[in-house]
């Protein structure tokens, strides 16, 4: 991979400033805005434009693929069971690999519980709705509970210690760290069959760090980059991508409108499932599928109990 220092106009000092601000690779620079880059690297606007243009030329920005290659890849898509029949049916069989599924809802609506359940279920063989794989759990709120995994794994007759070994957990200290952990996940996936990546919560750090109207564009751009890398990870590894997003009943400036995809429309409809979760009577939960690419809108009722997610 190319070093930041290979970019014209970037010496060791500027490179360090960029890295400190989280611009650790060419892609991050390639998709940044000149004003953002000028501010963090402490260079003029025209230099920033030059740096960005060079980064765009040097970075692997995705490029074109032939249709038959895409079709082949799409044939490989798999479904991961939630543990609830009705929930699976809502999703056409379960969480889809090579796509991002966003769980959004209020506190306590079950986002983290579902994420834990997927980390267990992904280890099941394919004939039981799993993907016979490991998971990566990017935890931003110290929300991962091994003892909960033990309960859920035991309910499937798995060896709890083994189940825990197949879940790779990292705590993200801030949004830049969170983004870098996706690159780390790529290293883990080289050595292990990772079929699920969770980010719980996708939006927490971004929400805390970027406050005020003037920061919205930068925020959205960072989130887009983050989502793109997650999607790339999912495609490379045929993995399910599950991200959570806490939304409150009262709207806020940026994240408040739950009908709007977090990553904006850049991620694209074909790669995004959005599930709105809410609590119901008697410990029941309701999941509603919103503007899905090829599935009808609908709702599923499920339970969160001792053994995990069930009908």
The number of CA neighbours under 13 Å toward the Cβ of 246 is 16
- What's the rounded Cα separation, in Å, for the pair 265 and 136? 25
Among 34, 94, 110, 263, binds ligand GTP (CB under 6 A): 110
The pairing of beta strand 100-105 with beta strand 272-279: parallel
Partner in contact with 173, chosen from ligand GTP, Mg ion, none, beta carbon below 5 to 8 Å by kind: none
Partner in contact with 147, chosen from Mg ion, ligand GTP, none, beta carbon below 5 to 8 Å by kind: none
Please tell me whether residue 105 binds ligand GTP under the rule CB under 6 A: yes
Residues 130-169 close enough to bind ligand GTP by CB under 6 A: 148
Size of the site for Mg ion (CB under 5 A): 3
- What's the rounded Cα separation, in Å, for the pair 49 and 169? 37
- What's the rounded Cα separation, in Å, for the pair 153 and 164? 9
Please tell me whether residue 107 binds ligand GTP under the rule CB under 6 A: yes
- What's the rounded Cα separation, in Å, for the pair 119 and 122? 6
Please tell me whether residue 108 binds ligand GTP under the rule CB under 6 A: yes
Residue 11, preceding peptide bond in cis (omega within 30° of 0): no
In the complex, what is the shortest distance from the CB of residue 16 to ligand GTP, in angstroms, rounded to a whole number?
A: 36
- Stretch binding Mg ion (CB under 5 A), from 71-79, 89-97, 109-117, 150-158: 109-117
Please tell me whether residue 112 binds ligand GTP under the rule CB under 6 A: yes
**Radius of gyration of the CA atoms of the chain, in A:** 20
Please tell me whether residue 248 binds ligand GTP under the rule CB under 6 A: no
| Tokens at 215, concatenated | 């920061």
Among 82, 84, 97, 112, binds Mg ion (CB under 5 A): 112
Please tell me whether residue 305 binds ligand GTP under the rule CB under 6 A: yes
Taking the least distance from each CB to Mg ion, the nearer of 34 and 204 is 204
Please tell me whether residue 245 binds Mg ion under the rule CB under 5 A: no
- What's the rounded Cα separation, in Å, for the pair 225 and 236? 16
Partner in contact with 109, chosen from Mg ion, ligand GTP, none, beta carbon below 5 to 8 Å by kind: ligand GTP
Among 81, 140, 246, 292, binds ligand GTP (CB under 6 A): 246
Cβ atoms of residues 281 and 288 within 8 Å: no
List Cα–Cα distances, 186 to 26, 77, 194, 221, 225, in angstroms.
17, 19, 9, 22, 16
| Sequence-distant (≥ 6) Cβ neighbours of residue 123 within 8 angstroms | 130, 132, 133, 134, 135, 153, 158, 163, 166
In the complex, what is the shortest distance from the CB of residue 144 to ligand GTP, in angstroms, rounded to a whole number?
A: 11
Partner in contact with 237, chosen from ligand GTP, Mg ion, none, beta carbon below 5 to 8 Å by kind: none
Please tell me whether residue 173 binds ligand GTP under the rule CB under 6 A: no
Taking the least distance from each CB to ligand GTP, the nearer of 46 and 305 is 305
DSSP state string for 278-310: EE-GGGEEEEEEES-SSS--EEEEEEEETTEEE
Residues 4-63 close enough to bind ligand GTP by CB under 6 A: none
In the complex, what is the shortest distance from the CB of residue 104 to ligand GTP, in angstroms, rounded to a whole number?
A: 9
| Tokens at 131, concatenated | 């993907």
Taking the least distance from each CB to ligand GTP, the nearer of 113 and 237 is 113
Q: Which residues bind ligand GTP (CB under 6 A)?
A: 105, 107-113, 148, 246, 304-306
Positions touching Mg ion (CB under 5 A) are: 111-112, 143
């Amino acid at each position: 991979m190319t070093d930041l220092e290979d970019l014209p106009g970037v010496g060791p000092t500027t490179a360090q400033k960029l890295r400190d601000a989280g611009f650790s690779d060419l892609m991050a620079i390639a998709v940044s805005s000149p004003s953002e880059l000028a501010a963090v690297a402490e260079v003029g606007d025209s230099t920033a434009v030059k740096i960005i243009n060079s980064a765009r030329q040097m970075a692997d920005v995705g490029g074109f693929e032939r249709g038959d290659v895409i079709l082949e890849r799409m044939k490989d898509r798999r479904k991961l069971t939630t543990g609830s029949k009705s929930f699976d049916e809502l999703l056409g069989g379960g969480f889809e690999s090579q796509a991002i599924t966003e769980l959004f809802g209020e506190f306590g609506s079950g986002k983290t519980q579902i994420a834990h359940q997927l980390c267990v279920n992904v280890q099941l063989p394919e004939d039981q709705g799993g993907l016979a794989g490991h998971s990566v759990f990017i935890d931003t709120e110290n929300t991962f509970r091994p003892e909960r995994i033990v309960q859920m794994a035991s309910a499937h007759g798995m060896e709890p210690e083994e189940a825990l070994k197949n879940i790779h957990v990292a705590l993200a200290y801030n949004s830049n760290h969170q983004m870098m952990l996706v690159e780390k996940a790529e290293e883990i996936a080289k050595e292990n069959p990772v079929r699920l990546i969770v980010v719980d919560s996708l939006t927490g750090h971004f929400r805390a760090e970027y406050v005020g109207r003037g920061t919205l564009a930068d925020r959205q751009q960072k989130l887009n980059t983050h989502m793109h890398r997650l999607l790339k990870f999912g495609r490379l590894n045929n993995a399910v991508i599950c991200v959570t997003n806490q939304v409150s009943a009262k709207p806020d400036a940026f994240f408040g409108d739950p009908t709007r995809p977090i990553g904006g429309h850049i991620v694209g409809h074909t790669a995004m499932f959005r599930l709105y979760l809410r609590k119901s009577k008697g410990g029941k939960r309701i999941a509603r599928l919103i503007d899905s690419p090829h599935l009808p809108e609908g709702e599923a009722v499920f339970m969160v109990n001792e053994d995990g997610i069930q009908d």
